[in-house]
Structure 1
Amino acid sequence: MKNPFKNTRLFMMVALLLSVGMLSSCDSDSDDEVLLGEWQKQSDFAGVARSGAVNFVIDGKAYVGTGHDGSRRLSDFWMFDPAMNNWVRKADFPGAARSAAVGFTANGKGYIGTGYDGTDYLKDFYEYDPAANTWTQIEDFPATARYGAISMSFDNAGYIGAGFDGNYQKDFWKYDPASATWSEQIGLIGAKRVNGFTFMVNGKGYVGGGQNNNVYQTDLLEFDPATGQWKELKTLAEEQRPDKVFPGPRSYATTFTIHNNAYLVGGTNGAPLNDVWKFDPATDTWTKLGDFKGGMRQAAIGFGVGEFGYIGLGNSGAQRFDDLWQLNPTVANE
């Protein structure tokens, strides 16, 4: 006599194996889809809300100043201490109040220059000594006065280039604090641009985004300060990154670097953006980390200190912001 439960038991065993396999597959997919990056609101910026400000980091503290509050350019200057989560006002920037300037650090000092004062493009430059809380005017930027340039910071030198001086530019210059001199470098091998983004990872600099003749740029360039040479990476376009995710073209994006990865946040492609991206230069790959919790914005400040990244200020349309947000890259993004 046939066992009436034999086929039933077989069916149940097969179903159980299939369900285990499906659960294992789902768990694997779920692990792959876990996005790390939790945003936490920090102490609001103590100055007025603004966009187009400059920031740099010295000895674990961020310095922020200049910018535009919607009606006037600004020259106040502030220090943010991440360990204390507080802001302290410092000596005002001594040059003309401005927005869309650049800043960098070199040899333990901070530098701010170029920009727009509402009437003129600027080329003056100033050095900030955090120990003395004093500013010293240095030699003017030797190329044309401009705004919306890019800048990079390495241990002993700062770099500035591109921007808009009435025309779109792609030149590139080095400032050496030891000799207090500027020297022209090999220009960007990609497009001219204004309001592009830059970041530094593992001793190299990266440039992308911005606009050239009102066209958003998709190239991505790598700069090696040891050789002074540029390298073209895959563009931020489908043709060179098929079936991959990557940030779309934009200007006024904000960046910072932590854990040997760069992070790109927001900007505009004609409308304000709030997407967050992580870039791994070792593999030239991008990962989308959801949306910035602080909302749509462009022309914000961004910096990395220790284990955390920070984004703040900026604007969305006519609205200016005075908030500051911290990204913990090791915690799951909810």
Structure 2
Amino acid sequence: MQKGKLFGWMLAAVVLSACSKNDDTEDENNGNWKELPEMSASPRSEAVAFVIGDTAYIGTGFDGDKQLRDFWKYNPANGWSQSANLPAEAAARSSATAFVIDKKAYVGTGFDGKVRLNDFWCYSPETGNWEKKAPLVGPDPSISLARRDAVSFAINGKGYVATGNDGSGTKDVWMYDPTADQWLARQSFGGSKRTEAVAFVLGQSAYIVTGTNNSELKNDMWVYDAAADNWTQKNKIANVSDESFDDEYNIVTSQAVAFAVNNKAYVVTGTGNGISKATWEYDGVTDRWTKVRDFEGAARYSAVAFVLGGRGHVAAGRTGSLPLDDVYHFEPNATYNEND
């Protein structure tokens, strides 16, 4: 797909009416989105993405008809090629989650089209194989921890899965120890229950923000100190204070994506009051958000994000009923170029 390509006049009308920007806004925003080669895989939403070394991987998801188990890898020098699919023993799935520890990726939970899942699988690029790992279970295995639309992150050699939907929103947090192949309960998320949130890591701290619970978009944001196992609330992401810094905040959304690069975090796209193209930059030192260059592909939700080559990338997702396969990376300090 080329930047600005329309997906039919009806879709174009929806995107343009919901997400139009005036020239003044374009001039004020910073950064540039550049389109990359589209995925060789079929278009999809609700996939997972992870990076190992100099290669990004995208897999699973929903193509509008069925859940998927295939994986594809991308390297800027070599382009796209197929990677090892989830094994036949593993259900095809969407709305799963993934994290990386010691150059191995862990993919689990999600939805197979009928039930929520709690299994986890580990991929090693050295062997090219997937290995079954301990499912997400607590001290009482009779209590299901299966879920979809959770968030995950990795800190200090441990993986974490938090929030999600087990039939309703959740706020529990579980830590995976790869040496013991075991899940341990951690301090529950400090905010209210939620699903379809995003997580990112700055330094040794993990942040969870956005999402929804009982159809209500959440405007709180929390940071997790893994060493102390506690949560601290940060400034809210809507205009709710008496201070002026949040007068222009309109970050509340769900099914967005997030990535962190160069000590800044970015929350991009999503859905709430319409399908979004917004890009918000977060400074963890000042606890402030700045609106930067809007995403330059089609407005979307349920995309994936990853960091490769020092740049944040956004790929795939859905706009209305249409799954996507395009890929863009963001250059926060670049001058806007409408032709790339």
For the superposition of Structure 1 and Structure 2, which TM-score range results when normalised by the shorter chain?
Answer: 0.7 to 0.9
**1:157 touches 1:177 (CA, 8 Å); kept in 2?**
yes
Q: For 2:334, what is the secondary structure of its paired residue?
A: strand
Distance 2:86 2:125 in 1: 13
Distance in 1 between residues matched to 2:59 and 2:94, nearest whole Å: 9
Does residue 298 of structure 2 align to residue 295 of structure 1?
yes
Gaps of 5+ in 1: 1-29
Shift of 1:38: 1.0
Matched with 1:26 is none
Q: Please report how far the alpha carbon of residue 332 of structure 1 lies from its aligned counterpart in structure 2 after TM superposition.
A: 2.1
3-state SS, counterpart of residue 274 of structure 1 = coil
Conserved 8 A contact 1:234-1:241: no
Sequence identity percentage: 34
Amino acid in structure 1 at the alignment position of 2:47: A
For residues 235-274 of structure 1, the aligned pairs below 5 Å read: 235-240=236-241, 242-244=243-245, 245-274=248-277
Count of residues in correspondence between the two structures: 302
Secondary structure, in 3 states, of the residue corresponding to 2:121?
A: strand
What residue in structure 1 maps to residue 80 of structure 2? 87
1:285 aligns with 2:288: yes
Which residue of 2 is the match for residue 149 of structure 1?
Answer: 150
TM-score by length of 1: 0.87
Mapping 1:135-174, distance limit 5 Å: 135-143=130-138, 144-174=145-175
Runs of 4+ in 1 over 4 A off after TM superposition: none
Write the distance in 1 (CA, Å) between the matches of 2:314 and 2:327: 6
Larger-gyration structure (1/2) = 1
- Structure whose residues are more often strand by fraction: 1
> Among residues 106, 112, 126, which one is paired with 1:111 in the alignment?
106
CA deviation after TM superposition for structure 1 residue 161, in Å: 1.4
Query: Residue 35 of structure 1: CA displacement?
Result: 3.8
Higher relative contact order (CA 8 A, sep 6+): 2
Indicate the residue corresponding to 1:66 in structure 2: 60
Q: Which whole-Å CA distance do the structure 2 matches of 1:165 and 1:287 have between them?
A: 33
Aligned partners of 1:161 and 1:173 also within 8 Å: yes
1:85: how far off?
A: 5.6
- What is the identity, as a one-letter code, of the residue corresponding to 2:73? M
**Is the aligned partner of 1:126 residue 2:111?**
no
* Structure 2 residue matching 1:36: 3-state secondary structure: coil
Q: Which amino acid aligns with 2:236?
A: T
Alpha-carbon distance, 1:202 to partner = 1.2
State the 1:70 CA deviation. Answer: 0.4
Q: 1:179 to 1:44 in 2, by over 3 A?
A: same
TM-score by length of 2: 0.86
C-alpha displacement of 1:307:
2.4
- 1:24-63 deviations in Å (ceiling 9; x for gaps): xxxxxx9xx7543111111111100000000111113211
Correspondences of 1:14-53 after superposition (within 5 Å): 35-53=29-47
Partner letter of residue 57 of structure 1? V
Aligned counterpart for 1:326 among listed residues 319, 325, 329: 329
RMSD: 1.5
